[in-house]
Amino acid sequence: MTAKKAFERLPTSVKPINYNIRLHPDLEKFTFTGVEVIDVEVKQSSRTLKMNSAEIEVQSATFISSGKTMTSTAITTCDEDETLTVSFDSDMPLGTGQVKLDFTGILNDKLRGFYRSSYTAGDGSLKRIAVTQFESTDARRAFPCWDEPAIKATFDVTLVSPVKTVALSNMPVIKENIEGDLKVTTYDRTPIMSTYLVAFVIGEFDYVEGKDRNGVLIRTYTPVGKKAQGEFSLDVAIKTLPFYNDYFEIPYPLPKLDLIAIPDFSAGAMENWGLVTYRETALLVDPENTSSGTKQWVALVVGHELAHQWFGNLVTMEWWTHLWLNEGFASWVEFLCVDHCFPDWNIWLQYVNMSLKRALQLDALDSSHPIEVPVGHPNEIDEIFDAISYEKGNSIIRMLQNWLGAEPFRKGLALYLKKFQYSNAFTEDLWAALEESSGQPVNKVMSTWTSQIGFPMITAELAETTDEVRIKVRQQKFCANGDDSSAQSWFVPISVISQSNPDKPTCYLLEGKEGEILIEGAKPGDWIKVNPGLIGMYRLNYSDEMLKRLLPAIKNQALGAADRLGIQEDLFALAKAGYNNTANLLTLMGAYVNERNYVVLSSINGNLSELGSLFSHLPCFTQFKAMRRRIFSRILEEVGWEKKETDGHTDALLRNMLVVTLGKSDDEQVLARCQELFNTHYTGGKQIEADIRGAVYLTVRQDGTDETYRKLMDLFNKTDLHEERERVQRILGTGPNAALRSETLEFAMSESVRSNDTPFVIHGVANAGPEGRDQTWAFIKNKFPVFLERYSGGFLFTRLVQVTSNFTTMDHYKDIEKFFAENKAPSAERAVKQSLESIKLRAAWLERDGESVAQWFTEQGL
């Protein structure tokens, strides 16, 4: 077998200084022509010039220096390396010069590089769009360039487009000329920046605009006729930009900021400097039809992308190994931003379910990876845009901020950004700035979290006397398979509160395997809570006595919501890994009889749903559904079906969750009420409230009838609101009828479903129980070449692979392992390993605890 060629970064003999780029896309033929003149500095004499290029044909290349022009003798490309080499008959002279290239390319349909999109306007006309998505390494599909984050330059952009279109780039327009039915738009020069942040959009759009308190012009662009749906995100951006100005102590450096909704978009959004692109559902909010959950997501995504304007754009990671510097930080500060804009949303408590939990789940796997992982080829880069870079990254930042203190942490960030603005940085540079601001050994502590896989499990035991309370703590690596052989350790900031002193934590840095902590203000007999607020990224394994003392504080809610949530989250993880028994977890649930907090209930429900997925093919699944009805039906009675004037933001989220859960649990009253609401809604009567509309659709789809399916499809075809279309298409395949599930899978591949939505429609079928999973996996295998062609190298291909992770038998494991051994999945190899490991873990969990759980259900009279 031929050894895989080692990846090499571009030579440093020639450095770009400024790109002058002129592009003319043809929105009918899906091609573009381009001319670029690149100001360069030749640092070492060479007859060749090597840069990145993919799917581009270069017609001519010249080098100009000191008035002399050198014409290329050869232009060669390497598809594997995505490089372009231009050769000359003599050395390019040292010093400054210009490289001039004429080229053509395609507006592809792969949602990457320079690609095409479209939408149908309210009058039925088709509106075509040319748009870019360059992160991580796809600027090379729009123009030949040095497509590495550390090779920064400035950019002068000119776009040629039809007169009736809006043409946008990173900077404001400085000149626009009309040439027949075309316009030539030239933009101001950008700051020095990385290629992956350059952006162009051409199409017909409406917009709403405003200025922040510092006079920055902000616009939200929408499809024609939908500009009212841009008001909410515009308002969030207007509030957010000054907040970040103050927090980072650096003004937003560009004169304008555009946010634009793109109909076909692979990720949630992309932080292009000054021109942020979004999925429609991540930017647009319809006052009548958008749910509170979607509205919250829009606010978080806007906050995330705007944070990147500093953390990523102003200061950029030196190489993709340090991706987490971009994504981990932005994923943390988005919550800070939303808490500032919407303090009544209780977003930091939701953070535990939305971010910390995902990080702990993935990082417990053997197939996880360190936050900092060496990457080379673009296929490897795509694989690390995952919960480790995002969620583990932001979780350790949250833990670090708490350990250092909010103000020393903020000052350190500002110091880091000022020192490295308009340049590149390594992780160690951030640690050095935080050490300077705080005086703490940040690098020594945090390198244990970024350089190795996993996180610790802290075992806590009481060691109290008549005079004082201490706890003994020891750490070991938490493993999803219950293995305890690892010698890994971390520097772990630990905080502890007690019943007698709940508001002033005792803080301790565990530097070795074991330690002993004197709990300040605690009295013998107190409950003791380790990791209050769930700030630390570790699992807690309490001694029996410590857990016993905590149970009354859960029931009477003397413990805060985050701590009530955390106790059952930790025990769930321990049971799943085999450190404890699942029946003990179910017994613990009895302490939550008085729970009414949405986030805590959502955590409990999520864990029960995972259990339900595990047992869905067993006889005890009927008893499981009865248990869920017992827990949640009385809460829905209290909350009610309709929004009240006294409702807060999370009340709407709770109501939706309860309807979904009870519908899946065959609650007869919920099934009947949903059918009633749906029938009235469908026939043009009272419309279902946006906050529970998706839950009602999901519930009525479970009747499995062709009539309901056709009604839902009719709603899909009649709406032009993307959120409503998503509501329908993601639940179409969830019913019990195999023929309708097959129809949904074929529908997912049709032109009726946007390419970026297809994987989510397929996921819906996989969520239809064991039969749905089998049906979906068979479909993916059959269509694999199509998926490979359509999605390989992007986020969506990984999402498809993840469909396999919920199987529970070793027969499925062997089938999936064999398939991917014979059918390579570039950019998703790590996802395949993680899915296989998850299957093996689920099979072991079921074998280990299946009988005891079934016995528990029987003992409860279910």
Return the active site residues: 305
Place of tokens 């979904």: 660
8 A C-beta contact, residue 424 and residue 316: yes
Which residues, 6+ apart, have CB-to-CB distance to 844 below 8 Å? 481, 578
Cα–Cα distance measured from residue 755 to residue 112, given in angstroms and rounded to the nearest whole number = 12
Sheet holding 506-510, edge to edge: 506-510, 492-498, 528-530
Find tokens 């000359």 and name the residue: 88
CA distance linking residue 32 with residue 226, whole number of Å: 29
Tell me what percent of the chain is helix, strand and coil, each rounded to the nearest 5: 45, 25, 30
Dihedral of alpha carbons 840, 842, 843, 845, sign: positive
Tokens 């429900």 sit on residue:
605
Residue pair 91/47 in contact by the 8 Å Cβ criterion: yes
Report d(CA 69, CA 99) in Å as an integer. Answer: 10
Q: Can you tell me whether residue 608 is helix, strand or coil?
A: helix
Structure tokens at 568: 């059952």
- What number of other Cβ atoms are within 10 A of residue 114's Cβ? 25
Buried b vs exposed e over 239-249: b needs ≥16 C-beta within 10 Å?
bbbebbbebbe
CB atoms within 10 A of CB 314: 22
Phi, psi of 208 (to 5 degrees): -115, 150
Q: Which two three-digit tokens encode residue 393?
A: 């990254």
> DSSP character for 23?
E
DSSP state, 129?
E
Q: Say which residues have a Cβ less than 8 Å from residue 349's Cβ, sequence separation at least 6.
A: 561, 562, 565, 597, 599
Rounded to whole angstroms, the Cα distance separating 417 from 433 reads 9
Residues 6+ apart with CB under 8 A from 627: 586, 608, 857, 860, 862
| Dist CA 136 CA 123 (whole Å) | 37
Q: Which of 758, 704, 767 is nearest to 729 (CA)?
A: 758
Task: Return the exposure string of 676-712: e unless at least 16 CB atoms fall within 10 Å of the residue's CB, then b.
Answer: ebbeebbeeeeebbbbbbbbbbbbbbbebeeebbebb
The CA distance from 603 to 418, in Å, is 40
CA angle 130, 135, 141 (to 5 degrees): 55
Taking a C-beta distance cutoff of 8 angstroms, is the pair 232, 295 a contact? yes
